[in-house]
Amino acid sequence: MKLVNDDAEIYIPDKLDVKPALTRTTHLAIGAHQGNLEIMAIDGILQCFQNPQKWFRAWL
C-alpha cells in the first residue's frame, strides 16, 4: 500500500504484514479525528476487544 502523506503510518499491534492484517478486518470505523473514534465506534471496539475472531480497524 502506498500512502500519500509521508508522515502516515499503518499500526498493526501484532506485527502481521499489512495485506493480511487489513484483510482480516471485521469491524471498520472511518473518522476525521482519532479522538472521536472512542465514542463513535465503541460497539465495534468492544465486540473485537480480546476476541481473536474479530478485528477492529480505524481509518482516519
Between 22 and 3, the higher pLDDT residue = 22
Can you tell me the mean pLDDT for 5-11? 88
Q: Which helix (H) or strand (E) holds 34?
A: helix 34-40
Q: CA nearest 27: which of 12, 42, 14?
A: 42
Q: How confident is the model at residue 3 (pLDDT cuts 50, 70, 90)?
A: confident
Q: What is the pLDDT of residues 12-55, one digit of tens each?
A: 999 999 999 999 999 999 998 888 888 999 999 999 999 999 99
> What are the φ/ψ torsions at residue 43 (nearest 5 degrees)?
-60, -50
What is the domain partition of the chain in residue ranges?
18-59
According to the model, what pLDDT value does residue 4 have?
86
